[in-house]
Structure 1
Amino acid sequence: MSEFWFYFDIGLRHVLDLSGYDHLLFLAMLAVPYTFKDWKTLVLLVTLFTLGHTMMLVLGVYGILNLNFEAVEFLIPLTIMVTALYNIFKQATKATKNNGNSFIAITTLLFGLIHGMGFYNFIKIDLTPQHEDKLMPLLGFAGGVEAAQIIIIIIVLLLSFGVERFTRLSRRDWVLVTSAFVAGVVLPLLISHKFW
């Protein structure tokens, strides 16, 4: 069981590490349109995201799927850009929050698969072939990632609440501003990638 907590700590620290800001940006874009009253929906989305990257970790670690890391370096920022643009489009068209919940859930799961490829690249160093029991480290890592993600969405919700409560910025404008900012941060990563 100590192995579980060892990898839990690795997963927690990996997500909360500011140098790996791509995961933080995706979670911020996922959370920013929601408020505390939507916490169940948001936790469900984050759990689907965790399920997606855990499935990809299992496929990679057990050698079921051969992962292309060059593609991942392009796809991860693309998931952030798509989510930011979706937020902007949704606010600009004044769509109601409940429109497209199934679409958001499925997309979040698929984006979790993509981010899982990036996690695999990180964790495979620790899970060498002589590691007989890979399941416990994988579960620990996934649990740590999930805990870190919940911490991040709570921070985003608190920040959104503070902005809405103590500034003149409306919720709609806050979502537009943060989404446009994140899109601006990610755009150079996409343009400079060797994919082009």
Structure 2
Amino acid sequence: MNEFFIYLQLGYKHITDFNGYDHILFVVALCAIYRITDWQRILYLVTAFTIGHSVTLALAALKMINYSTDFVEFLIPITIVVTCISNFFHRSTESVLDPEQFSPSRYFLALSFGLIHGLGFSNYLRSLLGKDENIIPQLLAFNIGLEFGQLVIVSMSIGLSFLLLDGFKVKKHTWNLVLSAFVAGVAFKLMTEKWYF
């Protein structure tokens, strides 16, 4: 059981570590168009992302799929930039009583991009596992740790939005554009640093 908690902590620390801020940027970009009253939409979106990265994390950690690590590291910032671009075209509702509309394409993107991020998570996990044969408990613990960390990031992102939108009365559309532009800029720089071609 002690090993389970070790891997749980490693999963949590991996996604919340500012040295690996690419995953943090993606989660922030996903949440940028929402306010705290849209928590159900956020839950669905994060669940879609979770399903995606859980699938490829498991497949890669179990060595059931092969991929280029460098290519995946290049694709991750692309997923962030594409998410931010989709945010630019989102028409925000300013009323607290008017929730964001359901957008199936956004959930499909979160699921698809989750598949790519799962491969990124697996790079780190495989380096930890070494030659262990039974990795299912470690895989489960690591994934649960990732989810806890992801929820912390979502909570902080939505908390900041609440402070600015409801406390300082910043327009929601303005906040979305500023946050998405900032995240896209950082991700673009990251993309050029990890250029694959």
Identify whether the pair has TM-score above 0.5, normalized to the shorter chain.
yes
How many angstroms apart in 2 are the aligned matches of 1:191 and 1:11?
Answer: 27
Which residue matches 2:152? 151
Which residue matches 2:4? 4
Which residue matches 1:61? 61
Ranges in structure 1 where 5+ consecutive residues have no aligned partner:
none
Partner SS state of residue 126, structure 1: helix
Which residue matches 1:42? 42
| Paired letter, 2:60 | G
Spell out the pairing of 1:43-192 with structure 2 (5 A cutoff).
43-91=43-91, 97-100=100-103, 102-129=104-131, 131-192=132-193
Instruction: Give the RMSD, CA atoms, in angstroms.
Output: 1.8
**TM-score, normalization: structure 1?**
0.91
Deviations 1:135-171 (A, max 9, x none): 1111111101111111111111110011112335201
| Paired residue total | 192
Ranges in structure 2 where 5+ consecutive residues have no aligned partner:
none
Deviations 1:60-115 (A, max 9, x none): 122210021111111000000001111011138x9x83252x21111111111101
Check whether the contact 2:35–2:162 (CA below 8 A) recurs between aligned residues.
Answer: yes
Shift of 1:41: 2.1
Percent sequence identity over aligned pairs: 38
| Paired letter, 1:55 | V
**TM-score, normalization: structure 2?**
0.90
